[in-house]
A = this chain, B = another copy of it.
Amino acid sequence: MRNFKIVLQYEGTRYKGWQKQGKGEGDSSSSASPENTIQGKLERLLSRIAGKPVEIQGSGRTDAGVHAYGQVANFHMDTDDTPEALMEKINSYLPEDIGVISVEEVPERFHSRLNAKSKTYRYRVLNSAVPHIFERRYVYQVPEHLDMEAMRRAAILLTGSHDFKAFTSAKKGKKSTVRTVDSIQIDRVGDEIHFTFSGNGFLYHMVRILMGTLLEVGTGAKKPEDMTAILESGSRECAGPLVPACGLALMEVRYS
């Protein structure tokens, strides 16, 4: 069977996230309300095109309400279509808040999750008291003054390989919570502040809890130096709050 890698954009606002509900990954036999997840929508559509069940593998989950500019997924399918024709077919069936922006045929063993080397997420903060009508679905509004310099110092302390147990909502398990954050870049763009996180992988809610913590540094509620102690604590209560999903977008997934 041919293996196709696709790059996807979606506005997450009305979805329950990437991953189909119900049983775990790789089990498509029983899934509750697949229509409300991006993965469920795509599998239904691809199965209709193929005339038999097709499973799609994403590079990772995005949570309910989180957007994607460059989510990557792959699926195996028997088809005579060129990648271009397949892309057109898929887009013609997709709702207007999901779009495929590229399709390419890849070696059979390519796996969008297992082969992913690093990912980039961006969190957009609207740092203004004036609401932004047209971008409101994609930003989180924080009108308070935010100390850029303090946030940047905190970001440096959070960069690198650490146990990020304090920065996840995941239940305690046996899996490692050590991750490597390659960079956290903080840029002022007009009346917005963009926080760009790159790394080899992120735990459940990790970017949004890092964000909540950085914003506490920005307002002065926490000091940059506190980051080290929070990492060492391994305790969720020491980190900042979980910020809303709407500001977050998966920008890019890189492969070697």
Q: Is the CB of B133 within 8 A of A98?
A: yes
Q: Which B residues touch A91, using CB under 8 A? A: 131
Complex: A182 Cα to B173 Cα, angstroms: 67
| Interchain CB contact under 8 A, B101 and A134 | no
Is A149 an interface residue, CB under 8 A from the partner? no
Q: Measured between alpha carbons, how far is A69 from B10 in the docked complex, in Å?
A: 25
A1 at the interface (CB under 8 A from B): no
In-complex Cβ contact of A130 among B69, B98, B101, B131 (8 A)? B101
With A and B bound together, what is the CA distance between A129 and B120 in angstroms? 26
Distance A138 CA – B99 CA, assembled complex (angstroms): 16
Give residues of chain A (95-138) contacting chain B, Cβ–Cβ below 8 Å. Answer: 96-99, 101, 130-134, 136, 138
Which B residues touch A131, using CB under 8 A?
Answer: 91, 96, 99
Distance from A69 Cβ to chain B, minimum over Cβ atoms (Å): 8
Whether the Cβ atoms of B130 and A138 lie closer than 8 Å is no
CA distance A11 to B136 in the complex (A): 10
Most central of A67, A69, A130, A138 by chain B CB within 10 Å: A130
Give chain B residues whose Cβ lies under 8 Å from the Cβ of A138.
Answer: 134
Q: A168 near B: Cβ within 8 Å?
A: no
By the criterion CB–CB under 8 Å, are A134 and B67 in contact?
Answer: yes
* A9 adjacent to chain B (CB < 8 Å): yes
Q: Which residue of B lies closest to A94 (CB)?
A: B131
Minimum CB–CB distance from A248 to chain B (whole Å) comes to 13
Q: How far is the CB of A65 from chain B (nearest CB, A)?
A: 14
A94 smallest CB distance to B (angstroms): 9
For A101, list chain B residues within 8 Å (CB).
130
* Nearest-neighbor residue (CB-CB) of A8 within chain B: B133
Residues of B within 8 A of A97 (CB): 133, 136
Query: Are B11 and A99 in touch, CB under 8 angstroms?
Result: no
Q: List 14 A-B contacts (CB under 8 A).
A: A9-B134, A11-B133, A11-B134, A69-B134, A91-B131, A96-B136, A97-B133, A97-B136, A98-B133, A99-B130, A99-B131, A99-B132, A99-B133, A101-B130
